[in-house]
Every structure is written in structure tokens, then in C-alpha cells.
Amino acid sequence: MEDISYREFYIQNDEIKQKDSFNGEFITLGKSLYEVIRIEEGVPLFVEKNLKRLENSAKITNLILSISPEEIRKKINKLIQVNDVKIGNIKIVFNFFKDKCNFYAYFLKHNYPTKDQYDNGVDTIFFHGERRNPNAKIVNTEFRASVEAKMKENNAYEALLVDRNGNITEGSRSNIFMVKDKTVYTAPLEDVLPGTTRDSIIEVALKCGYEFKEKRINYKDVTKIDGMFISGTLSKVLPIRRIGTIQLNSSKNAAIRNIMAEYDKMIKEYITENRLLKI
């Protein structure tokens, strides 16, 4: 599996290059740390959180990033400018191969949820498997390929990962939240990738007056909850309609609807505050 640069230009180290010269096979070589940043109205959303997580991934894996967070932000802004793009997803990658670190930044083809999916929820599956290092965002092409094959086979939007103890940890590309009465639950931080949206969802849930708890929940107990939702760069806040054959009424749950609305409001406020800033 290799990446494809979707827009006209990408950045490799200090050079702006035409997409025709992009070779996404580098992602399969050595070790790669990466982040995906959503762009709305030309503004990189919550980029500070992405870069903080990237630094944490480097620390966990004992790797040294070749450029500073400030330089990364400048390159993200430059990529947006040269491609004249207002909306999309930028992937930034530090690829470590043969004692060399190369930096890449490029637009991915994005496929955001539809209005119908936000209104009615999405179909998901359980996938019994664990990331080798859940706290670090490292490219693992073999694991990703096996999950995506299972999702495609079941026509699922997302796969909910289940660990060796039967507990739901996270989605293959998202964090997972569950609601019961006035409490919002998610897996403990040590079990998951600390998603950039995750902290914002917790902040929003508390602001809306809900209790928040980190708790390990077994996949067999999902029939006891009121609803579940996905959070992530692509999905924002997205209700889950079904897990395999298990039906959920998540899209009608008041807590989930309130969190969706408040998170959208947070995004709009962030865009307003950062639109005119030179990052």
C-alpha cells in the first residue's frame, strides 16, 4: 500500500515539487511517523495538537524529527497557499530510512461523511486486533491493510478495535466514545492513540454538562449503552448506527447531538480566530 499526492504540489524536505514526481512507496520503507491535518476555509484545524502528538510519537519511538514544529507549520501554510486549497486533508510524514530522515507534506484525497451519515449514523464492525504501540502514530501498512480488507468485506465505515481482553479500544482511524444516561465513556488513554479530536470532545462533553469517564468496556456490553460515536480528523463527531448486527439509536441520542453541535461551534470559533494569523 502506498500513498498518493492528491493536489498539484507537495513538499519534500525544503522543496516544492509537482505531484507527477511523487513516489508514495517511501511510506513502506523504514519507519514513518505521521499526522493528518484537516483544512477548513484555508485554516489547519487544531494544528497545535497534531504537532504535540507528533513530538510525543517521536519521543516514544526514540526518533528525532528533522525540523521544528514552527517550520512544520510554515510548510503546511505554504502547501495550502501553492495549491490554493480551502478544504482538504494534509498528511505530514517523517520517514526514517537508512539513517536518514525525510519530511513530506502532501494533500490526501478526502472523503468526508455525508449529511445522511451525520443524521442517521454509520455502519461499523468489530475487529479483534491491537496496535503494537497504541500511543504513537506510526505507519503500519500490514495492520492497516488487514483492517481495511475486513471493512470492505462488510461494507463498514469503520472498524472498532477489540483487544485480547475483549475491550473496545479505538477505531482503526478514530477514537470511540460511548454514552449511557448523562455519562460519556471512552477507553483509558494508555490503551489508545491520543487523538487530536479526543481532547476536544472531552472538553465539549464537560461544557455541555455531561460526566466523563475513562473506562474499559467489553464489546459484549455494547447492548447496554444508549449510543456510540466516532471522533476524528475525517469524521469530526459521527454517530454509530450499527456494529455488525447490533443496532444502536445513536443519531437520536440527545447527548451525542449536543456534542456534535458544540464541536462544530468550536471549529467555527477556531477558524475565526486563526484565519488571519500567519502560522
pLDDT tens readout for residues 185-230: 999 999 998 878 999 999 999 999 999 999 999 999 999 999 999 9
Same domain, 154 and 76: no
Give the range of the structural domain holding residue 134, as residue numbers without chain letter: 115-268
Same domain, 256 and 128: yes
Residue 113 has pLDDT above 70, yes or no: yes
Same domain, 70 and 53: yes
Of the residues 78, 108, 138, the one at which a domain ends? 108
Residue 279 has pLDDT above 60, yes or no: no
Instruction: Write down the pLDDT at residue 143.
Output: 86
Q: What is the DSSP string of 61-121?
A: HT---SS-HHHHHHHHHHHHHHHT-SSEEEEEEEEEETTEEEEEEEEEP--PPPHHHHHH-
Q: Which of 30, 67, 36, 66 is nearest to 49 (CA)?
A: 36
Residue type for position 39: I
CATH number for the domain that contains residue 14: 3.30.470.10
Query: Total domain count for the chain?
Result: 2
Same domain, 15 and 136: no
Residue type for position 263: Y
Same domain, 135 and 264: yes
Asked if residue 145 is part of any domain, the answer here is yes
- Tell me the pLDDT band of 277, cut-offs 50, 70 and 90: low
- What are the grid coordinates assigned to 159, written together? 472498524
Of the residues 84, 108, 132, the one at which a domain ends? 108
Q: pLDDT tens digits for 53-111? A: 999 999 999 999 999 999 999 999 999 999 999 999 999 999 999 999 999 999 999 98
Alpha-carbon distance of 242 to 124, in angstroms, equals 6
CATH number for the domain that contains residue 240: 3.20.10.10
Instruction: Write down the pLDDT at residue 278.
Output: 46
pLDDT exceeding 70 applies to what percent of the chain? 96
Of the residues 85, 108, 131, the one at which a domain ends? 108
Same domain, 153 and 248: yes
**pTM reported for the whole predicted model:** 0.87
